[in-house]
Amino acid sequence: MKKTFNVNAELRNFTIYEKNMAKVKTLKKSTIKKPKKEGKENSLEESLWESAEQLRGTVEVSNYKYIALGLMFLKFISDRFEERKKEIEKSARTDKERAILVEDKDEYLQKNIPFLEVGCRWSDLMGLATQRNLGLKIDQILRKIEQTNPTLADVTPQVFADSKIANENLTALINEFSKIGFGTK
């Protein structure tokens, strides 16, 4: 069965989740029971829960969705990009052809997968996770993705630099979302 990512449905789910989190915000952290982990990869619900925990107190509840969904979107398109890249690598007959095709934007766009330049992939973001001004760097990555893929213009929430989230919290969110697999296989 093919997994698809429906932004509107996830936004609705996150908004419902956000309202529920607002109700329990006054409870002590120790009284909140986290969803149980079932396996190696976290479920979407578990990751949203962890993201809300990381954002608690640093971001208004109504703005959680922009931070969480922005990172999730980047993780989703990065996973799809990497999946397509592996397909391209398998189909190439020579090393030279492989090197050319894996960086050919059209090879991704023909499958409706955004092309991600080096520096704009999830693995690149993970490498930046310990650096200063992480929010600014995330916004720059999202801006570059929009420039490379005009169909994504004005889609990504570039709110990280202005959010005043501590680098440590953004790093924790990146690590949390790294546990989600959005591939189709």
Q: Report the 3 state secondary structure along the chain.
A: CCCCCCHHHHHHHHHHHHHHHHHHCCCCHHHCCCCCCCCCCCCHHHHHHHHHHHHCCCCCHHHHHHHHHHHHHHHHHHHHHHHHHHHHHHHCCCHHHHHHHCCCHHHHHCCCCCCCCCCCCHHHHHHHCCCCCHHHHHHHHHHHHHHHCHHHCCCCCCCCCCCCCCHHHHHHHHHHHCCCCCCCC
- Decide: residue 77, CB within 10 A, 0-12 exposed, 13-18 middle, 19+ buried: buried
pLDDT tens, 25-46? 433 333 333 444 444 566 666 7
Output the pTM of the full model.
Answer: 0.71
Look at residue 150 and tell me whether its pLDDT is greater than 50: yes
Counted residue by residue, the chain has a size of 185
More confident residue, 58 or 28: 58
Q: What is the pLDDT of residue 52?
A: 64
The encoded tokens of residue 13 equal 């789910």
Query: Can you give the residue ranges of every domain in the chain?
Result: 7-177
d(CA 117, CA 104): 10
Q: Select the more confidently predicted residue: 80 or 11.
A: 80
- Mean pLDDT throughout 121-129? 94
**For residue 133, what pLDDT band results from cuts at 50, 70 and 90?**
very high
CATH number given to 7-177:
1.20.1260.30
Q: 152: pLDDT confidence band, cut at 50, 70 and 90?
A: very high
Greater confidence, 173 or 62? Answer: 173
Q: What is the reported pLDDT for 19?
A: 57
Which range (10-24, 71-85, 157-171) has the least confidence?
10-24
pLDDT value at residue 63: 72
User: What are the tokens at 39?
Assistant: 């396996």
